[in-house]
Chain A
Amino acid sequence: MIKTLARSIRDAALPAIFTPIFMLAEAFCEVCIPTVMKYMIDKGINVGDMDNVVKYGVMLLIFTVASMFFGITAGITASRASSRFARNLRWDMYGNIQQFTFSSIDKFSPASLVTRLTTDVNRVQMAFQMLTRITFRAPAMLIFAFVFSFRTSPKLSMTFLYAIPFLVIVLAIIIKKAFPIFDKTFKAYDDLNECVEENVSGIRVVKSFVQEEHEISKFQAISDKIFGLFMKAERTVSFNAPAMQIAVYGCIIAISWTGAHAIVASGNAEPGLTVGGLTSLFTYTMQILMSLMMLSMIFVMLTMSKASADRVAEVLREGCDINDGERNLTELKDGSIEFKNVCFKYSDTAESNALDHISVRINSGETIGIIGGTGSSKSTFVQMIPRLYDTTEGEVLVGGENVRDYNLEALRNNVAMVLQKNTLFSGSIYENIRWGDENASDEDVQRVCRLACADEFIQKFPDKYETHIEQGGSNVSGGQKQRLCIARALLKHPKILILDDSTSAVDTHTDAMIRKAFREEIPNTTKIIIAQRVSSVEDADKIIVLDSGKIADMGTHDELYARGGIYKEIYDQQTKGSEDDA
């Protein structure tokens, strides 16, 4: 995980390296300060020597200004490093997602990818900043402070040898005991959020069934559970502050007692212990024990952000198993398609094949209709053609060549597909349609829109082709959206055009007009049409009937109807009534 993330450090490395260096310098100054203060007290104030007070005062100011300088610089480099690191992570993740195969997109789900790119990256960024700033500073501070206190008084410094292990052990026990409980608490939080989410989106169901009370008691149970877990964790965590205080005060008392003896013995004069020395030892006590506290805090923080780091690394590590073919063919001879005994499974562990021994030949320029029930793998079938998935067995040939031999971009530019769950992006209609071809002229765009019967409604918009489409195309109706998506695909001038249930919201008349335009305007393009509505495929050259991943039947409308079976069943069911009445 660390190795994967480390690859994204790049230009964050320099500030990331400087941060601990500045931090070390800052820690050093911080540790020097009590010693200078000691001199100021011993040689200045205690003996009433104002010259020394001023002299050491100036020295003290130098150290504090230096400490401030290093502290601020480290703060700046740390934010530089962490913001760059986060930027690189987002860039790398986003870049890798662009290379994702359809199976990877399905595996992660868009919602989870969004969370990983946003919330998780933020957590990693925070952790990284902590890491560069404090991970080095705290132990350094501890060591420096210990060394300085040892210089002041070796004997008194021995106190820390008891206090440090005491605090370390107590903190370790607290972390060990509390951590699993916190882990459970986070899971309970997830349950709570899920409960709210379900209720917000299902509020009509809750109210319809008058289950408000039931939902409230469910929510309160989770709420109680969180409270209980927290209190359980808190019983342990609350030892944090008192443990620290006992360590600090224990040291102060011990140092006071032994220190008093030492000062009396030395007569409050160097090289023995002095009053100033004693004061500085008190400060060192704080510095040493605070560093320990910091370390335990960092440990907890880093452990908590590990889950996020793992999720980020998962996206970065996701390999791409669909790459350009070795032969890297860039030209498609024609729009012919052949499936040779194709089997496909969505995952290795899946029990049954989504496509089961499919063999079919489609000639260039033909119009093919595909029909079948939900889950009959219609979409899977067509997604093999632009190589959105790789076959598990068998091969798919396009233009007489195996799809695996093509340059992917060339293949996909020649195979236009209108997806079932389609998306328009925020931007004008022009911008959206030009996804098909960035350099298309306005006339080109309008031509394909006419082909897709989209021009008629676009002309009715006040801004016509400049009309702004909202995110997800929420300001156009379902049928309009589908027609825009068809136009967008047509602009690619593809050799193969696939419509995956793309006219379901379009009325039958317009649907027929679009198909007529296809026949007349792009006769050489192979057209594959998946539809629920039989009327959309009735006039195709060939209709493929799919049932649970197998080809149940294939032929023209008349042949299939004559043979009976699923096709006739669907046809009759959809047309009964209208024939007797119309």
Chain B
Amino acid sequence: MPNSNSHGGRPPRGAKVSMKFDKKTIKRLMSYLKPYKWQMLVVVICVLLTAGSSVMSQLFIKTLTDDYILPMVGADNPDYGGLLRTLIGMGVLFLAGAAAAYFNAWIMAKVSQGVLKTVRNDMFSHMQSLPISYFDTHSHGDVMSFYTNDADAMQQMLSQAIPQVISSGVTIIAVFCSMLSLSVWLTLIVVAFLFVILLITAAIAKKSGAYFVKQQHSTADVNGYIEEMINGQKVVKIFCHEEKAMSDFDGKNVELCENTYRANANANVLMPLNNCLGYFLYVILAVVGGTMAIKGVMNVHCFGVNVLSLGAIVSFLQLSRSFIGPIGQVSQQLNSVAMAMAGAERIFTLIDEQSETDDGYVTLVNAKRDENGELVETNERTHLWAWKHPHSADGSVTYTELKGDIVLDDVDFGYVPEKTVLHNIDIFAKPGQKVAFVGATGAGKTTITNLINRFYDIADGKIRYDGININKIKKADLRHSLGVVLQDVNLFTGTVMDNLRYGKPDATDEECIAAAKLANADSFIRMLPQGYNTVLKGDGSGLSQGQRQLIPIARAAVADPPVMILDEATSSIDTRTEAIVQAGMDALMKGRTVFVIAHRLSTVRNSDVIMVLEQGHIIERGPHEKLIAEKGQYYRLYTGAFELE
């Protein structure tokens, strides 16, 4: 398989941060927010309230000094009543702002986590519907990172960047209006200055972005090196290669350190610089404003024309601080928004992947025989199954007994249309027969079995199951009727019993135990700490290789299908243990149509027919004795004169 489990070695994703967003991506993200439109409305109101109270607190200084304090200075009998009322009013507004802040945070968390949950579930559900070829062409690490890196980036954006941007935006607009209400001239200065700040910010962000890309590359380099060397650590030790390994590592490590330093150092420049520019603006405004006030220049504001008051200048200065602050914050969030958009785009490509298509309409049903010996459908759990075949032409329904008769008729197949890997494959497997495939790696053994359960669809020819073209059979029902035991053991987190029951969730404990006994797994399972209720973690890593291999065999036995595919099912077991398992395997195979792929020829000897494959062609076929007598490829393999793999 082209899959690899490498997380660290793959090239960095999202290294390139672009500020150009795909409109479609934004639209789709918005569609995820749609169910929350009322909540979003509340959020917007809350943000308005919060930002409003923040702006009010800035403007309040002007009112406080101009309307209350300064008139009272020097008064004989200052009246604090007005101030008190205003302060109480402000207090109420502030409390409302604080309450709004709470609801804002809470609802926004609910929305962002809710969206994330939906996205994750969509991703996973869709992933389950994807054809096997998707998993062949995408590394595990890449698929995993949709759920980790990309989803994290999205969460970051939804829960932090968006609220931040909204609230900053509201603040900026409110402050801008307030500034206009004080002085148009001074506001123009602010706007002009804003452009300068934005230009500088963009320049620095670009430079530091370039270093971040470099950092990502050397991180990937170091991670790749570490992964390769650590995985071969035992070899490093037996060859005493420790020092060599260290010196190679040194160069990469130092380079990563340099690039990390440059990327971070550049990023760290931004905040202090922005801050400083903000103060520059402050001083400029103070000088210009002060001059205007003293010279009595006519000040234009949106309510009219007057001479700039001192209180107004003080307020304006405060406002300019509140104006620059959020702009700095927004620019800090841009990076995270860009990363999230890139992540969202990748997530959407997963969700847009073409699902496995299923046009099948023949289904598998429980059946029984009526008085006339005809098959009829029933809801009872009989042990008789039938293919229910509706005919669209005349609306009639026919029932065919499920027997396990499989025919491949002149089948051609290629993973890509240009390259055929299987040529003219003819196979006839009668119910109860054992058919074996033998051949070198890449000869197409596993590919054939993948065609039978329709992991892949054939290019030409026909595959019939009990006489029905498998393209007409619903995939789920087809697969239910086929049991598979693969070389790579995949167990799932859960108890041993859960794992045994995997293919037949309604199986009783007794059925599972009987199957385990059949596969010779019962004795070791009983020795586990909690027997059948022992929880298997991390793909059953606590079990020995041989023990792990027995569980899928028992699992297939529980599912009890009429056709079995055993793909190198016993290759990780040594011959001695295999001999012990063999009895179980034989019991499992009895009465079923079985397709066996085995490396070890002793496993396939007793097959009814053995197919020798070479480069996608069946070059020899027949029972063991016949093939040995022919002294062909099989004979050479069997006598060990030819290397498999």
Does any Cβ of A come within 8 Å of B508's Cβ?
no
- Distance from A223 Cβ to chain B, minimum over Cβ atoms (Å): 5
Q: Are B53 and A249 in contact (CB under 8 A)?
A: yes
Closest residue of chain B to A69 (Cβ to Cβ) is B272
Q: How far is the CA of A169 from the CA of B245 in the complex (A)?
A: 52
Q: Which residues of B contact A172 (CB under 8 A)?
A: none
Q: Are A471 and B228 in contact (CB under 8 A)?
A: yes
- Distance from B118 Cβ to chain A, minimum over Cβ atoms (Å): 9
Q: Are B99 and A203 in contact (CB under 8 A)?
A: no
8 Å CB contact of A260 from B69, B106, B224: B69
Surface stretch bound by A, among B275-283, B415-423, B458-466, B609-617: B275-283
Q: How far is the CA of A53 from the CA of B284 in the complex (A)?
A: 10
Q: Which residues of B contact A191 (CB under 8 A)?
A: 493
Does any Cβ of A come within 8 Å of B257's Cβ?
yes
Q: How far is the CA of A272 from the CA of B480 in the complex (A)?
A: 88
- Distance from B96 Cβ to chain A, minimum over Cβ atoms (Å): 10
Q: Are B148 and A478 in contact (CB under 8 A)?
A: no
8 Å CB contact of A253 from B91, B224, B491: B91
Surface stretch bound by B, among A226-234, A293-301, A518-526: A226-234
Does any Cβ of B come within 8 Å of A559's Cβ?
no
Q: How far is the CA of A57 from the CA of B288 in the complex (A)?
A: 11
Q: Are B275 and A71 in contact (CB under 8 A)?
A: yes
Q: How far is the CA of A95 from the CA of B98 in the complex (A)?
A: 53
Interface size on B, residues (CB 8 A): 163
Does any Cβ of B come within 8 Å of A569's Cβ?
yes
Surface stretch bound by A, among B16-24, B122-130, B327-335: B122-130
Q: Which residues of B contact A57 (CB under 8 A)?
A: 283, 286-287
Q: Are A196 and B226 in contact (CB under 8 A)?
A: no
Q: Are B69 and A208 in contact (CB under 8 A)?
A: no
Q: Are A245 and B97 in contact (CB under 8 A)?
A: yes
8 Å CB contact of B265 from A76, A193, A276, A416: A76
Q: Which of A449-485 contact B (CB under 8 A)?
A: 471-472, 477-479
Q: Are A471 and B273 in contact (CB under 8 A)?
A: no
Q: Which of B74-110 contact A (CB under 8 A)?
A: 74-75, 78, 80, 83-84, 87, 90-91, 94-95, 97-99, 101-106, 109-110
**Interface hub of B235, B245, B258 (most chain A Cβ within 10 A):** B235
- Distance from A54 Cβ to chain B, minimum over Cβ atoms (Å): 6
Does any Cβ of A come within 8 Å of B546's Cβ?
yes
Q: Which residues of B contact A477 (CB under 8 A)?
A: 441, 645
Surface stretch bound by A, among B178-186, B372-380, B392-400, B572-580: B572-580
Residue-wise interface mask of B (488-510) relative to A, using a CB-CB cutoff of 8 A (1 in contact, 0 not)? 10111100000000110100000
Q: Are B98 and A275 in contact (CB under 8 A)?
A: no
Q: How far is the CA of A77 from the CA of B238 in the complex (A)?
A: 42
Q: Are A50 and B113 in contact (CB under 8 A)?
A: no
Q: Which of A180-233 contact B (CB under 8 A)?
A: 191-212, 214-216, 219-220, 223-224, 226-227, 230-231
Q: Which residues of A contact B486 (CB under 8 A)?
A: 204-205
Q: How far is the CA of A44 from the CA of B290 in the complex (A)?
A: 8
Q: Which residues of B contact A347 (CB under 8 A)?
A: none
Q: Are A208 and B272 in contact (CB under 8 A)?
A: no
Q: Given that A86-B257, A242-B99, A260-B80 are contacting pairs, would A72 and B273 also be in contact in the complex, using a CB cutoff of 8 Å?
A: yes
Q: Are A80 and B265 in contact (CB under 8 A)?
A: yes
Closest residue of chain A to B318 (Cβ to Cβ) is A279
Does any Cβ of A come within 8 Å of B628's Cβ?
yes
Closest residue of chain B to A215 (Cβ to Cβ) is B128
Closest residue of chain A to B94 (Cβ to Cβ) is A249
Does any Cβ of B come within 8 Å of A82's Cβ?
yes
Q: Are B144 and A249 in contact (CB under 8 A)?
A: no
Does any Cβ of A come within 8 Å of B260's Cβ?
yes
- Distance from B507 Cβ to chain A, minimum over Cβ atoms (Å): 12
Does any Cβ of A come within 8 Å of B297's Cβ?
no
**Interface hub of A40, A241, A386, A508 (most chain B Cβ within 10 A):** A241
Interface size on A, residues (CB 8 A): 158
Residue-wise interface mask of A (374-409) relative to B, using a CB-CB cutoff of 8 A (1 in contact, 0 not)? 110000000000101000000000000000000011
Does any Cβ of B come within 8 Å of A162's Cβ?
no
Q: Are B73 and A241 in contact (CB under 8 A)?
A: no
Q: Given that A48-B294, A238-B102, A245-B98 are contacting pairs, would A87 and B254 also be in contact in the complex, using a CB cutoff of 8 Å?
A: yes
Does any Cβ of B come within 8 Å of A581's Cβ?
yes
Closest residue of chain B to A422 (Cβ to Cβ) is B235
Does any Cβ of B come within 8 Å of A517's Cβ?
no
Q: How far is the CA of A295 from the CA of B28 in the complex (A)?
A: 38
Q: Are B575 and A110 in contact (CB under 8 A)?
A: no
**Interface hub of B64, B242, B545, B555 (most chain A Cβ within 10 A):** B64
Q: How far is the CA of A230 from the CA of B115 in the complex (A)?
A: 13
Surface stretch bound by A, among B195-203, B406-414, B584-592, B634-642: B634-642
Q: Are A64 and B246 in contact (CB under 8 A)?
A: no
Residue-wise interface mask of A (15-37) relative to B, using a CB-CB cutoff of 8 A (1 in contact, 0 not)? 00000000000100000010001
Does any Cβ of B come within 8 Å of A556's Cβ?
no
- Distance from B307 Cβ to chain A, minimum over Cβ atoms (Å): 12
Closest residue of chain A to B278 (Cβ to Cβ) is A64
Does any Cβ of B come within 8 Å of A90's Cβ?
yes
Closest residue of chain B to A246 (Cβ to Cβ) is B98
Closest residue of chain B to A126 (Cβ to Cβ) is B264
8 Å CB contact of A223 from B103, B117, B293: B117
Q: Are A574 and B69 in contact (CB under 8 A)?
A: no
Does any Cβ of B come within 8 Å of A436's Cβ?
yes
Q: Which of B213-271 contact A (CB under 8 A)?
A: 219, 222-224, 226-242, 244-246, 249-250, 253-254, 256-258, 260-261, 263-265, 267-269, 271
Does any Cβ of A come within 8 Å of B530's Cβ?
no
Q: Are B286 and A40 in contact (CB under 8 A)?
A: yes
Does any Cβ of B come within 8 Å of A535's Cβ?
yes
Q: How far is the CA of A423 from the CA of B645 in the complex (A)?
A: 17
Q: Are B574 and A373 in contact (CB under 8 A)?
A: yes
- Distance from A92 Cβ to chain B, minimum over Cβ atoms (Å): 11
Closest residue of chain B to A262 (Cβ to Cβ) is B69
Q: Are B272 and A68 in contact (CB under 8 A)?
A: yes
Closest residue of chain B to A59 (Cβ to Cβ) is B283
Does any Cβ of A come within 8 Å of B114's Cβ?
yes
Does any Cβ of A come within 8 Å of B439's Cβ?
no
Q: How far is the CA of A434 from the CA of B343 in the complex (A)?
A: 43
Q: Are A60 and B279 in contact (CB under 8 A)?
A: yes
Q: Given that A98-B246, A241-B105, A249-B97 are contacting pairs, would A472 and B228 also be in contact in the complex, using a CB cutoff of 8 Å?
A: yes
Closest residue of chain A to B146 (Cβ to Cβ) is A196
Q: Are B128 and A212 in contact (CB under 8 A)?
A: yes
8 Å CB contact of A68 from B129, B275, B492, B559: B275
Q: How far is the CA of A263 from the CA of B64 in the complex (A)?
A: 11
Q: Given that A50-B294, A114-B230, A373-B576 are contacting pairs, would A256 and B64 also be in contact in the complex, using a CB cutoff of 8 Å?
A: yes
Starting from the known contacts A64-B280, A212-B128, A374-B577, 9 additional A-B residue pairs (CB-CB under 8 Å) come to A91-B253, A114-B8, A191-B493, A200-B127, A202-B490, A227-B114, A253-B87, A374-B545, A479-B644
Pairs A-B, 5 closest by C-beta atoms = A75-B268, A71-B272, A508-B640, A202-B490, A507-B643
23 contacts between A and B (CB under 8 A): A44-B290, A60-B282, A70-B272, A75-B264, A78-B268, A94-B245, A105-B233, A114-B7, A193-B147, A196-B147, A198-B492, A216-B121, A220-B121, A234-B105, A246-B98, A248-B57, A257-B84, A267-B74, A373-B576, A421-B234, A423-B235, A472-B228, A573-B575
